[in-house]
Structure 1
Amino acid sequence: MEEGQLMHDERPAGASGGKPRRRTRVRWMIIAMAAIGTAIAYIDRANLGVALPFIEDDLDLDPALQGVILSSFFWTYAVAQLPSGWLVDRLGARVMFAAAAAWWGIFTAAVAVARGFTSLLGLRMLLGLGEAPIMPSNTKVVSEWFPRRERAFASSVFNSGTEAGSALALPICTILIGLLGWQWSFAVTGLLGVLWAIGWFTFYRKPREHRLASAEEVAYIEGGNTLVAEEDRAAEKALRWRDLLRYRTVWGMVVGYVCRASVVYFFVTWFPSYLVEARGMELLEIGIYGVIPGIASIAMGWAGGWLGDLMVRRGVRLALARKVPLVVGMLGGSLIALAAIAPGVGQAIALLAISYGFLGFAGGAVWSLPADVAPSARNVASLASLQNFGSQIGGIFSPLAVGVMVSATGGYVLPLLVIGAVTILGAAIYAFVIKVEPLTVS
């Protein structure tokens, strides 16, 4: 029997007796739900960026302090990445994703009672702890539910939740702020996280354990999955967590994501303030025009994932199928620098949308890498957490650097030029440093 195929007399959970069933598509329900959870998380983390222009006077926050607050989320988020991937590999995505969503929902809602810099700082750091297992859980879900030929698009689907959440935060939060006040913006969006956690814990199971997944779908998943499903065999091949850091590819994944995140987190944190301060937009205009870059990123993200999977199905080497979206996406993302010198608001929004769209184009390939290079199923979430640690390094320094540069220069020209240059560096790292092949266990 070939590895990953089912014996005729084996019937995984979810299969029923009698005549063969059609192959179900539960995996797409699973990844859609993961994308919704990711979107809620990004609404919650972007909420403060939307609210800051309207609460800075209430809480007495100057631009430098705002940069510290926006950055503080990533201090704990980055540190918690390292143990969260290990926990996801051992406790599973069902438990860890649900626990994370409940945690971040509670501490998002608690921002409604913040009374100043100190309390807001503490709550944002607690929020960072709660959101740390998101991307390791998503990557684990893809490795369990999708064969290699579908992983790039599946990864682009859950990754589109990041752009959808960042984009939806603008209209949702501005409407809540306009109608009810900024406190209700945090209370309502926090409740969404708690409700999603209940739904995820109730619905999610592994393919063989899911009552809705047919035997045919399980066989399809396992037949195209190069990672060994059995825990005992996976354990034999697994690398120790600290040994992952011996590989150049792992460091390339980390540093490459530092570069990508430097642009992404401009949109998550400073983008609303940029629209108000540099482009003179009002609250209603932010809610309308601010979603355009996010929509572009979602569409381009799905396109990048589809292209990567198409290349794999057509027999293109996996390394090339991953690196084309990565390098093209990062180079396109550098167009954010041109927004700094765009004469009108329309041109600036268009350039920002193109930049964010290209970053989305790379997203599916980025999040396929942990499963592509993992020597074992028990290393997937750990690799994802290391990669996402790089993202949070970008998240820590990007808001701080932008805040300092805005305070020093009185505008956004220098920050956008610097961020654009960083994305070109990221393209070079993805092109020349990483190897898209399983890490060799010595």
Structure 2
Amino acid sequence: MTAFSGSPTPHHLARPAGRARWTMIWLAFGATTINYLDRANLGVALPYMTEELNLSKTGAGVLLGAFFWTYALTLLPSGWLVDRIGPRRMMVIAVAGWSVVTMLIGAASGFLVLLLLRLLLGAAESPSYPSSTKIVARWFPSKERAMAASIFDSGGRAGTALALPVITVVIAVVGWRGSFVAAGLLGLLFCALWLRVYRDPETHPRLSAEEHAYIKEGGGADAGSDVPPMAWAKLLRYRTTWGMIFGFFCLSFVLYFFITWFPSYLVDARGFDLLKLGIFGMLPALLAIPAQWLGGALQTRLINAGRSVSYARKVPLISGLVVSSVIVFAGVVESPAAALALLALSQCALCFAASSLWALPADVAPAPGNVASLAGIQGFASNIAGFVSPLVVGILLDSTGGSYVAPLAVAGGVALVGALVYAFVIGKIAPLGGAATGPAADAAPTPQQT
């Protein structure tokens, strides 16, 4: 029996009649949507919480970023746990945990209580992305991974987009505290659906033999594989791993502006009222959803046309980050409409690039037991950016009298650095342990074959 290889995909494989794998990834989309709805709730409610709780801009930046302190730190053990006990159990534990914490935020009485609950929320949400990445690896051949990953990850844009109109309506009716309670209840309802519907391929009662064979022949990773995982310390010897870390940091630095400070930007810098915020504020995130699906579909098309996995993954990564740097101009144009258009283009380009991100762990994992761990490692870096980005924006706003020119200029520069990382730090995208994974691979061992 040979070692797991996540990258090669026979291009000639015909699509089977079964659709069970797509049901599973749309469930993961639902989990991600709720995940982002809950984490974005604070950003939407913040303009209405600030006066009641006496929060400064810097204090608000700390609260927005505090989520990512524990989220980033717990991504590492969460990825390891998902690899060991599977996505079905870990996902329901995560959704139930963060839903309860979200409801408790609605009862917060001051800065310190909010800070503690944001820290708990970060820890509770951390298993979500490693679980969804594991689902991609188990349920999809490599030529469909980018499309599958784009679907579940676009739940982040859906949750962010829904947060603006839905939560603003809830705030208008029952106040900002009620918005957190409602979001938490939605998550608890989803837990029941998840337990009823989700199964791994080996235990799914409605997965046809034809579809199962299609997944396996295309490089899908079986949960029961006996290929031993590579130790974490050895994963970090590879240049590819470090490219995934630094590249994802740069992309996330820009993306988290939209998740955290974007509603405040529209209110403070562009004078949007509650109605305009709810209507126009959701447009960039809504447009970013089909942009991300387009990136995933493009990769499937490129691989089917005979292009390498490396080429297919890097085209959206590099081009998307370059285009996203137009965010810098949103800080200097006079027209609110032009600024909104530039920000929408930037977020669409970021999500076009992001279509590759959560396919990479399965592409480069040397064994099935490393997929969620690699997702946790790159996610750790992403969410260090999630802490740094809102804090940097808050500090720059306080130091410049509330101007968004400097924060948006910094974001544009970071996007260009990310494009350079994906272009030149990551070499050929292939399972770690082969000669093609970078100079560091020369000194790194290859997993044993059994």
Q: TM-score range by the shorter chain?
A: over 0.9
**What does residue range 247-258 of structure 1 map to in structure 2 within 5 Å?**
247-258=238-249
Equivalence for 2:276? 285
Deviation at 1:333, TM superposition (A): 1.1
Flag the 1:218–1:268 CA change in 2: closer, same or farther, 3 A. same
Q: Which amino acid aligns with 2:118?
A: R
Per the alignment, residue 150 of structure 1 pairs with 144
Following TM superposition, by how much is the alpha carbon of 1:215 offset from its aligned partner in structure 2, in angstroms? Answer: 1.1
Q: 2:425 — aligned with what?
A: 433
Deviation at 1:231, TM superposition (A): 2.5
Equivalent residue in structure 2 for 1:128, among 122, 125, 148: 122
Asked if 2 retains the 8 angstrom alpha-carbon contact of 1:258 and 1:393, the reply is: yes
Aligned to 1:9: none
**Matched residue SS, 2:18:** coil
Give the Cα–Cα distance (whole angstroms) in 2 for the partners of residues 172 and 263 of structure 1. 24
2:392 is the counterpart of 1:423: no
Cα 1:62–1:379 shift into 2, 3 Å: same
In structure 2, which of residues 238, 259, 264 is the aligned counterpart of residue 268 of structure 1? 259
Q: 1:163 aligns with which of 144, 157, 171?
A: 157
Q: Could you say which residue in structure 2 is the equivalent of 1:23? A: 17
1:13 paired residue number: none
Provide Cα deviations, 1:77-124, integer angstroms capped at 9, x if missing partner. 000011000000001000001100000000001011100000000000
Corresponding residue SS for 1:194:
helix
What CA distance in whole angstroms lies between the structure 1 residues aligned with 2:259 and 2:405?
18
Unaligned runs of 5+ in 1: 5-21
Structural RMSD (CA): 1.5
Structure 1 residue 225: Cα displacement: 1.3
- CA deviations 1:275-324 (Å, max 9, x no partner) are 00000000111100011110121011000000011101111011111100
Alignment match, 1:180: 174
Q: What's the counterpart of residue 81 of structure 1?
A: 75
TM-score of the pair, normalised by structure 1 = 0.93
2:194 to 180, 195, 200: 200
229, 233, 236: which one aligns with 1:242: 233
Equivalent-residue separation in structure 2 for 1:255 and 1:327 (angstroms): 13
**Shift of residue 202 of structure 1?**
2.2
Flag structure 2 segments of 5+ consecutive residues without an equivalent: 5-15, 434-444
- SS of the aligned residue for 1:328 comes to helix
Q: Distance in 2 between matches of 1:81 and 1:141?
A: 16
The equivalent of 1:364 in structure 2 is 355
Aligned counterpart for 1:387 among listed residues 375, 378, 392: 378
Structure 1 residue 56 displacement after superposition: 0.5
CA distance 1:56–1:3, change in 2 (3 Å): closer
Matched, 1:93 2:84: no
Distance 2:244 2:310 in 1: 14
Q: Matched residues in 1 for 2:3 and 2:107: separation?
A: 55
Distance 1:203 1:300 in 2: 28
CA distance in 2, matches of 1:386, 1:2: 25
Which ranges of 4 or more aligned residues in structure 1 deviate by more than 6 Å?
1-4
Q: Deviations over 1:210-237 (max 9, x none)?
A: 01211111111111116465422x22xx
Matched, 1:108 2:108: no
Amino acid at match of 1:336: I
Residue 246 of structure 1 aligns to a residue whose secondary structure is coil
Q: Secondary structure in 1 aligned to 2:356?
A: helix
1:221 aligns with 2:215: yes
- CA distance in 2: counterparts of 1:333 and 1:133, whole angstroms: 28
Q: Return the offset for 1:62.
A: 0.8
> Residue 230 and residue 271 in structure 1: after superposition, are their counterparts in 2 closer, same or farther (change >3 A)?
same
Taking the aligned partners of 1:227 and 1:107, their CA distance within structure 2 comes to 34
Matches within 5 A, 1:47-86: 47-86=41-80
Segment of structure 1 superposing worse, 192-201 or 34-43: 192-201
CA–CA separation in structure 1 for the residues paired with 2:152 and 2:174: 31
Find the counterpart in structure 1 of residue 438 from structure 2.
none
3-state SS of 1:334 partner: helix
On the 8 A contact 2:137/2:220 being kept in 1, the answer is no
Shift in Å, 1:423: 0.4
1:330 and 2:330 are equivalent in the alignment: no
Per-residue deviation, 1:208: 2.3
Mean alpha-carbon deviation: is it higher for 240-249 or for 50-59?
240-249
Shift of 1:242: 2.2
- Indicate the residue corresponding to 1:35 in structure 2: 29
Residue 392 of structure 2 corresponds to 401
CA positional deviation for 1:271: 0.4
Shift in Å, 1:201: 2.1
Asked if 1 retains the 8 angstrom alpha-carbon contact of 2:318 and 2:353, the reply is yes
- Distance across 1 between alignment mates of 2:262 and 2:112: 24
Amino acid of the structure 1 residue aligned with 2:423: A
Change (3 A) 1:426 1:420: same
The alpha carbon displacement at 1:172 in A equals 0.9
Count of aligned residue pairs for this structure pair = 422
Task: Output the amino acid matched with 2:78.
Answer: S
TM-score, with length taken from structure 2:
0.92
What is the distance in 1 between the residues matched to 2:217 and 2:245? 30
What is the CA-CA distance between 1:363 and the residue it aligns to? Answer: 1.4
Partners in 2 of 1:372 and 1:351 — Cα distance? 33
Deviation at 1:47, TM superposition (A): 0.2
The CA deviation at 1:248 is: 1.1
Tell me by how many angstroms 1:134 deviates.
1.1
The sequence identity of aligned pairs, in percent, is 49
**Cα contact 1:100–1:132 (8 A) shared by 2:** yes
C-alpha displacement at 1:343, in angstroms? 1.3
Q: Is the 8 A contact 1:107 1:123 kept in 2?
A: yes
Q: Judge conservation of contact 1:3–1:223 (CA < 8 Å) in 2.
A: no
- Contact 1:155–1:363 (CA<8 Å) still a contact in 2? no
Counterparts of 1:298-309 in structure 2 under 5 Å? Answer: 298-309=289-300
